[in-house]
Structure 1
């Protein structure tokens, strides 16, 4: 099949049924245009948003040299001349928020608490548990501490004028805390990506309604909504669409008018009632459908236009996902999720692959990438071991719930024996 890439202006040639996952991922990213518009939001509302600009630290963190633990602060030069025990007079106390401001006589120390500013003339803290209190003095072995120990230096964590966070970062809880520690109360983030989604099929029913003969409850729309929520996009639920070309075309055009990306589930295979692919050809540009991937072979990707034909109205990228629920999830995580993050302006952060040992043999033929559901555990030696979660049918959503990882079987890989090493992609932080 020959298709036209409207971004590059070039013609690409490939067999869609053999298009490797890596090639599909690269093609999709070529079509992505990151959002440039930004908005300022209060710090508590910035979690999971994409940072629009570098944040430069306006202060040193910490703002002053301070103690890393409870103990006694003193001039570490006294250690050089000491042999055996060192005894120092206690000149006062220092607390976080209440620094010691008195005079520091020679041979003295200050009782200091964690986080308290280091008194003038002090550069070392001996931990409380290494000392013995003797009235208004404290004694400790001279070799119990080295000079400058247990002192946090001004600007040690973050120096004034240094970039605290870079643009494109998806803000995490630790980032919110870091920004707060700099005295920042609001931050510029990229505007949310708008993603419309719907399910197709005459057999679908809404959960909670009667289930007619031959019908099933619509799970994909709920799954897509939940996956989009984890990405903090503006998700637009367009409900269910019947297997009628006119209804599908109207919904697709409305979706392109309101969203940057449109996700559908079902209707992308070759059945008599599979209309998504043909409507994509009519309303826009088809870049590929069908991947060398299991589950998730029937996936359509391209661009549609709200005006009903290429170049008319407002464009939106479209991902026509398979109807089987596990295939919907796998294609979302492997193809759609990286594209949505890139469009949202996020810096690339590939999900790490971890080597694990197979507990049982796994059948696999070369020429396609497989994402099997697995349960991974760490053994007593800290090594990962993994086994598939029973049925790998693309319709067996229960095994997806039981799993805690994808077993990633590379495009060129063949069957594996028990004990072989395989890559796994943990769900934690992904799903």
Structure 2
């Protein structure tokens, strides 16, 4: 069996990013991956501006509190004032350009209205006070979003702040999702004796959509070798990746592995982790329009719900991110203190469902069985535990937070 690091390295080495890109408007960018670096054509802010509603003035004109100055102009946001006359103040609002000659802004709460359009300044200002300098956020010509950035609300807002109305993004990765197992029943249908509801199909689709993939639900494949081979051939024709759930073990009814080997090849099978040992990776052949041999990548996830969920996050997630051109694909583990004991050393590297307690320590879910999907809802993440290792309350553990993985 391959180690976690060996398996991940193998997958990432084969994860060739899609090259096609298109320009999309800001409203359609959420979750997409930037195909080219965004370089700002403007300086932000373009001029020195006020960080407060208040009064722009010269520090030299207010040597002590209580100085009375005439208000010579009013500058709302979106307007540009005139040079400030010595011995006067300008009424100014947040975001408005600071007039030439002014070197500070005193917030309005520290000022009082005086008769005849004057203001009483009750604070001695310091140079630069409450002034946001031109270019302190963005300099023209600088890269503000590198290629491979996953575009979320903050990134989209940043693009808008430099006037970008659309951005080039990589096309969505086309994923075909196949479910296997005659025991599976779809939610909403009567559950026959010996049957189970198909949870993997639905949380996998949600996970793929979370990462911006274009998902085709290729349906439920009957537990026969020929049906599995036919489903793989059909899925390979128009997709970048085929993903199955279940059927990659070695039982008599596990047909995915021999089907992939008949239609293509497997280059990875079985990983020394728990949960999730039966993870498969390879390709399915397809014939191009001109008869050239091409292939579609294949990943077979375990059938147990927790194993399926965990291996998606550990392996499929970084694979997807690299194929979509992401700049960063592997999350950084946090070093946290355990509130629980782990006294059952495993012969494989274990990823234990856990959550962060109110005191900031990590506590384990009591039942670490790979069939207990409630643990994934209860948990905040996974404790990465090396093989043959135990830990006690107070020990430091490596924690992979779901918030960093989704």
Structure-2-length-normalised TM-score: 0.94
Shift of 1:142: 5.5
Confirm or deny: 8 A CA contact 2:57 2:84 kept in the other structure. Answer: no
Residues 1:26 and 2:9 aligned together: yes
1:121-167 Cα shifts (integer Å, max 9, x gaps): 11211122223333333333564x31011111112211111112111
| SS in structure 2 at match of 1:306 | strand
Alignment of 1:259-278 (within 5 A): 259-278=239-258
- Give the whole-Å Cα distance in 1 for the aligned partners of 2:131 and 2:171: 42
1:221-276 Cα shifts (integer Å, max 9, x gaps): 11110100100111111011111000000111111111111110111111111111
For the aligned residue pairs, the C-alpha RMSD in angstroms reads: 1.9
Poorly superposed stretches of 4+, deviation over 4 Å: none
Residue number in structure 1 paired with 2:77: 96
Q: Which runs of no fewer than 5 residues in structure 2 stay unpaired?
A: none
Shift of 1:290: 0.8
| SS in structure 2 at match of 1:122 | coil
- Give the whole-Å Cα distance in 1 for the aligned partners of 2:329 and 2:244: 25
The 1:390–1:76 alpha-carbon spacing in structure 2 relative to 1, beyond 3 Å, is same
| SS in structure 2 at match of 1:168 | coil
Alignment of 1:70-109 (within 5 A): 70-78=53-61, 82-83=63-64, 85-101=66-82, 104-109=84-89
1:46-103 Cα shifts (integer Å, max 9, x gaps): 1111111111111111121100111111123446xx25554432212111113333x6
- Give the whole-Å Cα distance in 2 for the aligned partners of 1:55 and 1:418: 47
Alignment of 1:406-425 (within 5 A): 406-409=382-385, 411-412=386-387, 414-425=389-400
Residue number in structure 1 paired with 2:206: 226
Query: 2:41 pairs with 58, 61, 83, which one?
Result: 58
- Give the whole-Å Cα distance in 2 for the aligned partners of 1:129 and 1:43: 38
| SS in structure 1 at match of 2:147 | coil
- Give the whole-Å Cα distance in 1 for the aligned partners of 2:203 and 2:292: 32
The 1:385–1:184 alpha-carbon spacing in structure 2 relative to 1, beyond 3 Å, is same
Residue number in structure 1 paired with 2:30: 47
| SS in structure 1 at match of 2:59 | coil
- Give the whole-Å Cα distance in 2 for the aligned partners of 1:184 and 1:297: 46
Structure-1-length-normalised TM-score: 0.89
Residue number in structure 2 paired with 1:281: 261
- Give the whole-Å Cα distance in 1 for the aligned partners of 2:389 and 2:141: 53
| SS in structure 2 at match of 1:314 | strand
| SS in structure 2 at match of 1:334 | helix
Query: 1:245 pairs with 211, 225, 229, which one?
Result: 225
- Give the whole-Å Cα distance in 1 for the aligned partners of 2:42 and 2:185: 57
Shift of 1:374: 1.2
Q: Which runs of no fewer than 5 residues in structure 1 stay unpaired?
A: 1-15
- Give the whole-Å Cα distance in 2 for the aligned partners of 1:124 and 1:243: 76
- Give the whole-Å Cα distance in 2 for the aligned partners of 1:83 and 1:412: 70
Residue number in structure 2 paired with 1:292: 272
Confirm or deny: 8 A CA contact 1:305 1:312 kept in the other structure. Answer: no
Residue number in structure 2 paired with 1:394: 370
